Amino acid sequence: MSHVKAYVSVALSAALSLGVCAAASDAGPTEPAVWQHHQELIDYYGVTETYTCTGIEDKMRQLLLYLGARPDLKITPLCSRQLAPMRQVFVRIDFYSLAPATEGAAEALSAHWAPLNIRPSDPLFRDRGECELFQNVKQVLTKDFTIRDVRYDTDCTPNDTTLQDYRVTGEVLAPPSVQRASPQ
């Protein structure tokens, strides 16, 4: 009987994976876009969530890549301590994101609108305690990325987390390498 359960589990996992891959491969219509350079300084201050120097660097890298930033991005945390968690960290970011191309742009590439659905449990690299991070990066997300139909909600309570602390939804102009299934 345990072999049957294992087989059913493997078959179900494979079927779900195929469904997600099929949905993700249908990126929809494309439009011309160009890479646009951005440099920002983020002043992260958190009461609920603290970060080490490498921790904030990793989180920012994951977030920017998820949004479709070019992989050659540079993130420089300006930390007073390297290994200890800190409540306040300045982070310098230098990256490229896509913007709609003007007619006749020489280096235009085909981009598509990718679903954007950031919340405490999805995508998997986010934790429930990161509401303050999303309060601190709102300007970067809404100013430096081409996002449409954006809804940006944060309701952070110091030293408390819920599954409704933050949510960012909409669609982001993304390169062909960013493929996501639409949220169900």
Strand partners, 169: 117, 151
Q: Which domain holds residue 162?
A: 30-174
Quick one: pLDDT band at residue 65, thresholds 50, 70, 90? very high
Better pLDDT: 110 or 124: 110
Tell me the C-alpha distance between 117 and 97, whole Å.
18
Tell me the C-alpha distance between 52 and 75, whole Å.
14
Quick one: pLDDT band at residue 19, thresholds 50, 70, 90? very low
Structural domain includes residue 131:
yes
Place of tokens 């345990």: 2
Structural domain includes residue 183:
no
Tell me the C-alpha distance between 55 and 61, whole Å.
10
Per-residue pLDDT tens over the stretch 149-172: 999 888 777 766 666 678 889 999
- Check whether 24 has a pLDDT greater than 50: no
Structural domain includes residue 20:
no
Tell me the C-alpha distance between 36 and 6, whole Å.
49
Better pLDDT: 42 or 156: 42
Quick one: pLDDT band at residue 117, thresholds 50, 70, 90? confident
- Check whether 16 has a pLDDT greater than 60: no
What pLDDT, on a 0 to 100 scale, did the predictor assign at position 47? 82
Structural domain includes residue 70:
yes
Per-residue pLDDT tens over the stretch 49-58: 888 999 999 9
Better pLDDT: 122 or 57: 57
Structure tokens that stand for 165 in this block: 């602390």
Structural domain includes residue 180:
no
Mean pLDDT of 133-151: 92
**How many domains does the structure of the chain reveal?**
1
Query: Under a CB-based contact definition with an 8 Å cutoff, are residues 17 and 98 in contact?
Result: no
Structural domain includes residue 68:
yes
Write down the pTM of the prediction. Answer: 0.77
Structure tokens that stand for 107 in this block: 């280096």
Per-residue pLDDT tens over the stretch 70-99: 999 999 999 888 778 888 899 999 999 999
Q: Which amino acid is at 113?
A: W
Quick one: pLDDT band at residue 14, thresholds 50, 70, 90? very low
Quick one: pLDDT band at residue 176, thresholds 50, 70, 90? confident
Sign, CA torsion 131/65/98/40: positive
